[in-house]
Structure 1
Amino acid sequence: MFSAFTRLSLVTRIIIAIILGVLVAVVAPGVAPYLSLLGDLFIKALKSVAPILVFVLVLSSIANFKVGSSNAYIKPIMLMYALGMFFAALSAVIASIFFPSTLILDVAAENLVPPGSLAEILKNLLLSFVANPVTAISEANFIGILAWAVALGIAFRHASDTTKSFLSDAAEAVNKVIRLVINFAPIGIFGLVAVTFADSGLKTLVSYAHLLAVLIGTMFFVALVINPMMVAFMTRSNPFPLVFQCLRESGITAFFTRSSAANIPVNLDLAKRLGVPESTASVAIPLGAAINMAGASVTITVLTLATVNTLGISVDFTTMLILSVVATVSSCGASGVAGGSLLLIPVACGLFGISSDIAMQVVAIGMVISVLQDSTETALNSSTDVLFTAAVDRGLR
């Protein structure tokens, strides 16, 4: 039975884990506290691997980025990618204002010292940027980790091919460790769901349903409103035929594969049929699969603001704009594995002085709802790759 279970897809295993966790909470609530160790181990594993993940993946991504491309279309495509992610994060901010979400967290209130003003937030942000890199990794200071990864990545851009190859191999090794940890997600989620439902009952289900509705609703808004507006501006024509074709032929496939990288061949074929030159598509599509993560921007922003609401931290709109920028930059470093964007939530949480312990609880909640959230996120990410590539090609021609 165990062998048959491990052969199932991760989505199927998570669904089974959620159902079993709810059943245990309803039928035998007295057993649930003993299962808390499973959830604690899973959160601890995430907490341990996340700092290394952010540091190595962002460093390798920047160091191996190909500079000096002669293709005139790549720069505007990259600009579309960047603007798309920022507008997606901004849409998530607005959605969180009108439909605020809260989470059920195990918070030690006496250990929480939220920032009192924008000046304090900016001060903490600047101090985090200049933290010692070893200390930043050991203390899970994700802002400092991100700053050092970007700085070293830029420094390594002109390193030898051997060095860049080593960095790529290191990133792949970290990805394999992440895949191993996430393969244990169903077990950890089983323990988390059992304990949470036994303690809070249907209140948890309502919280998760509301959070999922805000996430998916925002992603649909980006796909059907923000992206068409950007495409219309670029092509000076009706954007919806192209938008719907990309969603139908790329988004649906990506929804079920849950991998932008696995969807690259689909996008290359679609780009070819849309008339995009191979010299453009062969660079822009793989580049988009690596760094164009509008769905991840939405996920990081919504879950971070839900955490902020839960902890009662007051946030003004200027801080939310800063969060949008942080979410945009963080999204570029999202791992290619299922649920990879969730592991970057601590980066955004660090903007508000939220501890790594609390941030990892939020990551675990994200894993619970990832059955639908991650599939929708990947569909938005991957379909946007080919959409913006085709839009820039049509606009410039």
Structure 2
Amino acid sequence: MKNLLKKWNQISLVKQISIGLIIGIILAVLIPESAKSVTILGSLFVGALKAIAPILVLFLVMSAISQHKSGQQTNMKSIIFLYLLGTFLAGLIAVIVSFIFPVSITLKTGAEDLAAPGGVVDVLKTLLLNVVANPVTALSEANYIGILAWAIVLGLALKNAPATTKTVITNISDAVTKVVTWIIKFAPFGIMGLVIESITTNGIESLLSYGKLLAVLIGCMFFVALVVNPIIVFSILRQNPYPLVIKCIKESGVTAFFTRSSAANIPVNLKLCEKLGLNRDTYAVSIPLGATVNMAGAAVTISVLTLAAVHTLGIQVDIPTAIILSVVSAVCACGASGVAGGSLLLIPLACSLFGIPADIAMQVVGVGFVIGVLQDSFETALNSSTDVLFTATAEFKEQLKEGKKVDITKVA
């Protein structure tokens, strides 16, 4: 048994997850009823990650800011710019693709009772209220906007604290990080449980009627991940971006795909940043921030589903309005984490640009929930893997400026 465990630990985490994925598919297909008992592993894994992530973010960010010295480079401006640029371009690509491959949907009732924000002002208001939320409540409800805000404030307040106090905070941060590494070791078993649950509960049959809509959504997300993002990275680093892009997708996107939670994937991203040798003072802040505002996948979802409603209703759209939709979808996507229901409930806001009534817009939201099994998985994978990609890009750019040798072709 010891030798077996030793050999297992020598296998990379990505390969371990692949093994768990394959076993999960086989069990779900061959013995679905018996395999359902294993789904508890997925719930335990995601539950553990979601439980530890808010505490990890609080102490990591607080520690990073309290230890920060004046003049120390963090590259946050560059990272935030990349986050916003990537989200806007994702929305723009989704608009263009939706015009090239227009999709019509069958609108059904059943989503009208869901509460959606009435405008961009409502989204911004929600974000601001989340910023000043009770810190204890923010931790218990995993309100990452609130957690980030309080961590930054407390970190700034502790900058002049005695060294012993800062050491205690750093020690707690290290301890929580250690717990996270223990949880991540169970990722292969958690992924196996999640795969079994997805296949046995939802199946693929229910998604076939929305095949074209899913093809446009997923196609846009793949295009952003494999074409747009690499172009952004290449334009900054002037090196082949694909080794770095693929590594981020393999080690961040895969787990995010199955957990379907950017928040739950924060520990995974922090570990990957550490493996890439990035500055902890930077990624301790940029990764939690990315989980709340870097929402390229959400921008794609909002744009594609909104234009699906537009095409279904036969509404004519001019170019200026399409560009405005790209901007609105990007702004809404950045606020998606602070709104109950995520990106789907922001669709009525975008639909209002075209005069689509709220009751019809909420039916589109209902369609979004039907295809959410795959849509949300791909959306989260794109969002989360891009957090690491843009953080690494900004870091490597700064290293090149300082005359250091950086070769991203060898990170895979």
TM-score by length of 2: 0.60
Change (3 A) 1:323 1:249: same
* Matching of residues 45-124 of structure 1 within 5 Å: 71-106=73-108
Match of 2:119 among 122, 125, 142: 142
After superposing the two structures, state which structure 1 stretch, 141-150 or 374-383, moved more. 141-150
Distance in 2 between the 1:353 and 1:321 partners?
16
Distance in 2 between the 1:284 and 1:339 partners?
24
Q: Is the 8 A contact 1:258 1:338 kept in 2?
A: no
**What corresponds to 2:381 in structure 1?**
379
1:222 and 2:229 matched? no
Give the C-alpha shift of residue 338 in structure 1: 10
**What corresponds to 1:276 in structure 2?**
278
1:259 aligned counterpart, secondary structure: coil
Q: Is the 8 A contact 2:254 2:381 kept in 1?
A: yes
Give the C-alpha shift of residue 361 in structure 1: 0.9
Match of 1:364 among 361, 366, 387: 366
Q: Is the 8 A contact 2:65 2:281 kept in 1?
A: no
Change (3 A) 1:8 1:77: same
**What corresponds to 1:211 in structure 2?**
213
After superposing the two structures, state which structure 1 stretch, 358-367 or 215-224, moved more. 358-367
Distance in 2 between the 1:295 and 1:8 partners?
27
% identity of equivalent residues: 54
Give the C-alpha shift of residue 256 in structure 1: 0.8
Change (3 A) 1:312 1:240: same
Q: Is the 8 A contact 1:291 1:333 kept in 2?
A: yes
**What corresponds to 1:351 in structure 2?**
353
Q: Is the 8 A contact 2:84 2:294 kept in 1?
A: yes
* Matching of residues 149-228 of structure 1 within 5 Å: 149=126, 165=135, 168=138, 205-206=208-209, 208-228=210-230
Distance in 1 between the 2:119 and 2:353 partners?
9
Matched AA of 2:337: S
Change (3 A) 1:138 1:105: closer
Change (3 A) 1:395 1:139: closer
- The count of aligned residue pairs is 286
Give the C-alpha shift of residue 148 in structure 1: 4.3
Matched AA of 1:258: R
Distance in 2 between the 1:139 and 1:223 partners?
29
Give the C-alpha shift of residue 266 in structure 1: 1.0
Match of 2:244 among 233, 242, 245: 242
Change (3 A) 1:359 1:166: farther
Change (3 A) 1:166 1:315: farther
Change (3 A) 1:255 1:138: closer
Give the C-alpha shift of residue 169 in structure 1: 7.0
Unaligned runs of 5+ residues in structure 1 are 13-63, 108-136, 176-185, 198-203
Q: Is the 8 A contact 1:259 1:338 kept in 2?
A: no
Give the C-alpha shift of residue 147 in structure 1: 5.2
Distance in 2 between the 1:141 and 1:166 partners?
29
Please, what is the CA RMSD of the aligned residues? Answer: 4.0
Match of 1:321 among 320, 323, 328: 323
Distance in 1 between the 2:270 and 2:235 partners?
24
Distance in 2 between the 1:289 and 1:251 partners?
13
**What corresponds to 1:299 in structure 2?**
301
Q: Is the 8 A contact 1:96 1:214 kept in 2?
A: yes
Matched AA of 1:383: S
1:330 aligned counterpart, secondary structure: helix
Give the C-alpha shift of residue 170 in structure 1: 9.9
Distance in 2 between the 1:293 and 1:84 partners?
8
Distance in 2 between the 1:167 and 1:97 partners?
43
After superposing the two structures, state which structure 1 stretch, 334-343 or 92-101, moved more. 334-343
Change (3 A) 1:5 1:140: farther
Change (3 A) 1:337 1:268: farther
Q: Deviations over 1:84-136 (max 9, x none)?
A: 000000110111011001111259xxxxxxxxxxxxxxxxxxxxxxxxxxxxx
Give the C-alpha shift of residue 141 in structure 1: 2.3
1:335 aligned counterpart, secondary structure: helix
1:231 and 2:233 matched? yes
Distance in 2 between the 1:252 and 1:139 partners?
30
Q: Is the 8 A contact 1:339 1:374 kept in 2?
A: no
Q: Deviations over 1:169-198 (max 9, x none)?
A: 79759x9xxxxxxxxxx9xx99xxx9xx9x
Change (3 A) 1:164 1:388: same
1:260 aligned counterpart, secondary structure: coil
Matched AA of 1:303: L
Q: Is the 8 A contact 1:143 1:350 kept in 2?
A: no
Q: Is the 8 A contact 1:295 1:381 kept in 2?
A: yes
Q: Deviations over 1:318-374 (max 9, x none)?
A: 111111111101111223899621121112112222222111111111111111111
Distance in 1 between the 2:65 and 2:354 partners?
34
Change (3 A) 1:146 1:167: farther
Matched AA of 1:380: L
